[in-house]
Amino acid sequence: MPKVTPFRAVRPTRDKVGLISSRPYHHYTQAEREARLDNNPFSFLHIVNPGYKYHKEISGPDRYELVKNRYQEFREDHIFIQDEKPNYYIYRLIDSEKHVFTGIVAATSLDSYKSNLIKRHEETIAHREDDFKEYLETVGFNAEPVLLTHPDNSALAEIIKEVTQDRPEYEFTTTYRDTHYLWTLDDEILLKRIQEEFSSMDHLYIADGHHRSASAYQLYEELRKKNPQHTGNEPYNYFMSYIIPESNLKILEFNRLIKDLNGLSKEEFLIKLDNSFRIQNRKSTYYRPLEKHQFSMYLDGEFYSLHLRKLNFKIENSLSHLDAQVLYKTVLEPILGIKDPRNDQRLDYAHGKKGMPHVKGLVDSGAFKVGFGMVPASVEEMKNIANEGLTMPPKSTYIEPKLRSGITIYEY
């Protein structure tokens, strides 16, 4: 059964947590990053963007070494401290739309991941997996937990309710109007009860963070083989996770953007699409699909609705029912020649929070030739695909919550 344990997190001091926490680096525009770096010396962005100190963009291994240096400076200045005892951490996020996410930050066994007790549903992009493994090995810490989920559990809910009656260790609101709370939990009885509840579950499911977990697993395999005194208790045997019930998940779609039509004219492309879809030209009218197997397409200044011709498409399993897979099997692979969505540089993604208007803007700019939108996958689809041992194409789901970096840190 899945092994989920408490750990000694490295955390900001209470007075600075609101200043330190940041969204992931790539979630900011350059102007937003620079504003925060210019005006907030405690932002976690100073750690992950170490070239700012030298007014220079730095990438690759050189950047990783500098990230390690900046992090150690924060540790040496006691901006970060490490808990003396292992804890579970109850984390609650209330977003600007008043959606409440509450779960447990913990260390999850990579042996459980290896044994498929932590089920995966999505393919990773190979170079991102390799890059992040190298990053973890160099910097020696991870500041963004993998999002795991489980069926709603009344015993865990009761423990969380009990713990959250007390004052949280952290409580702060961001400029994005999200409010964050963190409670530390080191009571031996409650720690044991939580661990027993997780160990009684058949599986946990990765909701978000497939690259982070895959990279952590790569690092685990490498360090395990290098260590003749390996015991299974070393920090590299685990990865930091945020574990929430299924009912808390919020799933959005990832839209697809393609840079060219694979040598086809617009008319030739539409004719090929007609074999698989009932097509309607919506002109300049924005179209958003409402049901499974319906797609929005933006091409040459116009929106189209694409409805799958189900008699021409064979659904064999949970994966082939998934809209991202339908699009891949009917359009991306056979018509546009995208054989490897993990690595093809002609394919890119835009998450559903930005919507098709964002896709339209990118196509109109000339950066892409065509864009596709779809409805979000469901939790049940995600679980069914994982249970059948299948994997979705990369970027099939955009899942919230998205936690901020630098609130709990796991050291290797």
pLDDT of the residue at 26: 78
The CATH architecture to which 4-251+401-411 belongs is Alpha-Beta Complex (3.90)
Q: Which fold has domain 254-375?
A: 3.30.1760
The residue type at 62? D
Angstrom distance (rounded) from CA 240 to CA 409: 8
With 0.85 as the threshold, say if the pTM is over it.
Answer: yes
Angstrom distance (rounded) from CA 128 to CA 259: 20
Q: How far is CA 232 from CA 112, 141, 197, 223, 225, in A?
A: 12, 18, 22, 11, 12
Question: 62: exposed, middle or buried (C-beta count within 10 Å: 0-12, 13-18, 19+)?
Answer: exposed
pLDDT of the residue at 276: 96
Q: Where are the domains of the chain?
A: 4-251+401-411, 254-375
pLDDT of the residue at 124: 78
pLDDT, one tens digit for every residue, the chain (412 residues): 899 999 999 999 999 999 999 988 878 888 898 999 999 999 999 999 998 888 888 888 999 999 999 999 999 999 999 999 999 999 999 999 999 999 999 999 999 999 999 999 887 777 888 999 999 999 999 999 999 999 999 999 999 999 999 999 999 999 989 999 999 999 999 999 999 999 999 999 999 999 999 999 999 999 999 999 999 999 999 999 999 999 999 999 999 999 999 999 999 999 999 999 999 999 999 999 999 999 999 999 999 999 999 888 888 899 999 999 999 999 999 999 999 887 889 999 998 888 899 999 999 999 999 999 999 999 999 999 999 989 888 888 899 998 899 999 999 9
Q: Which residues are within 8 A (CB) of 94 and not within 5 positions of it... i.e. 6 or more apart? A: 100, 101, 178, 179
pLDDT of the residue at 343: 84
